[in-house]
Amino acid sequence: MAEFSTAVKYRGDVNVIYLNGFLDAHTAPQLENEFSKLIEENKYSIVVNFKDLNYISSAGLGVFMAFIEKIRENKGDIKLTSMNDKVFNIFDLLGFPLLYEIFKSEEEAVKKFNEIKKLENE
């Protein structure tokens, strides 16, 4: 059975979820839990780092759809970063780049969040 794990790091107001391994129908609930926890704590600025993710199935993609509405309603967002080509290809085929901002690196995603924060504060 393919293994999957997640880790969460807080970078200021931005929460970064790191994905590792294989995200499919069997491991998707783990990621769902992570999102649920963050939302419970009213943390809506979320970056998902795909650096160590080897594979994502359609059920894995579904997880992002499950939470995005709630997060955007609360002026937050999910931004995706550091995908390998194979994973990006899967996202790309489904038209995810039209629905989500996808960045090359985690830094860019975090910076984007911080810029928005600044604009709001001004």
Can you give the binding site for other proteins, defined by CB under 8 A? 25, 58-59, 61-63, 65-66, 69, 86, 90, 93-96, 98-99
Tell me the closest approach of the beta carbon of residue 66 to other proteins, in angstroms.
4
Q: Quick one: 58 or 74, whose CB is closer to other proteins?
A: 58
Nearer to other proteins, 50 or 67 (CB): 67
Pairing outcome for strands 4-11 and 14-23: antiparallel
- Whole-angstrom Cα distance, residue 109 to residue 104? 8
- What is the C-alpha to C-alpha distance for residues 87 and 80, in angstroms, rounded to an integer? 11
Do residues 48 and 82 lie in contact, with contact meaning Cβ atoms separated by under 8 Å? no
CB of 108 vs other proteins, minimal distance in Å: 23
Minimum distance between the CB of residue 10 and other proteins, rounded to whole angstroms?
21
First-last CA distance in the chain:
50
Nearer to other proteins, 56 or 110 (CB): 56
- Whose Cβ is closer to other proteins: residue 14's or residue 80's? 80
CB 81 within 8 A of CB 103: yes
Characterize the bridge pairing of strands 101-103 and 14-23. unpaired
Residue 118: CB minimum distance to other proteins, A = 27
